[in-house]
Amino acid sequence: KDTIADSVAIPSFARPEDYALRFTGFVNIPSDGMWEFIIDSDDGSALYIGDTLLINNDGVHGEGEVSGEIALKAGLHPIELVMFQAKGGQGLKLLLKGPGFEKQIVPPSMFLREAKSKSKSKGTR
């Protein structure tokens, strides 16, 4: 099911077990510097910033923070988070820490998505 999410979290329509999620869009980084992304997931997860696999938290496991650091310029960066839920407990959080930005869950205001055009206009020559 495709839907627009306001934040990185397990949606209310997810079943309790045996599912996977994929979040894609852009993260708006406020300043240049080293940024630490942290995933806390039950079960497996992975985080890509652009083409870089920043966090690989694969496997069946309980919640626990796994992090990765990356140098980023201020502005928009493509982001993709994937996770799967097997059996038992479930959880998903994406946190961020960087220059002048204390460790916290990434606020929805930092995420953007690519607009989908409904028109099929053709360019002119």
Indicate whether 53 belongs to any domain.
Answer: yes
* HSE toward the beta carbon, residue 124, CA cutoff 13 A: 0
Indicate whether 120 belongs to any domain.
Answer: no
- DSSP line for 46-94: EEEETTEEEEEE-SS----EEEEEEEE-SEEEEEEEEEEE-SS--EEEE
- Residues 47 and 94 sit within 8 Å (Cβ to Cβ): yes
Render pLDDT for 3-23 as a digit per residue (tens, 0 to 9). 777 778 777 677 777 878 898
Indicate whether 6 belongs to any domain.
Answer: no
User: What is the predicted pLDDT for the residue at 18?
Assistant: 82
Question: In this structure, what CATH number is given to the domain that contains residue 95?
Answer: 2.60.120.1560
Indicate whether 59 belongs to any domain.
Answer: yes
Expressed as residue numbers, the domain containing 86 is 19-106
Q: When comparing pLDDT for 58 and 17, which is higher?
A: 58
User: What is the predicted pLDDT for the residue at 46?
Assistant: 97
Q: When comparing pLDDT for 110 and 14, which is higher?
A: 110
Indicate whether 75 belongs to any domain.
Answer: yes
The CA distances from residue 89 to 15, 43, 47, 92, in Å, are 12, 8, 21, 11
Residue 124 has pLDDT above 60, yes or no: no
Render pLDDT for 72-102 as a digit per residue (tens, 0 to 9). 999 999 999 999 988 888 889 999 999 999 9
As a whole number of angstroms, the distance between CA 80 and CA 86 comes to 20
Indicate whether 12 belongs to any domain.
Answer: no
User: What is the predicted pLDDT for the residue at 24?
Assistant: 92
Indicate whether 7 belongs to any domain.
Answer: no
As a whole number of angstroms, the distance between CA 116 and CA 10 comes to 24
Q: How many domains does the chain have?
A: 1
- Residues 39 and 106 sit within 8 Å (Cβ to Cβ): no
Indicate whether 50 belongs to any domain.
Answer: yes
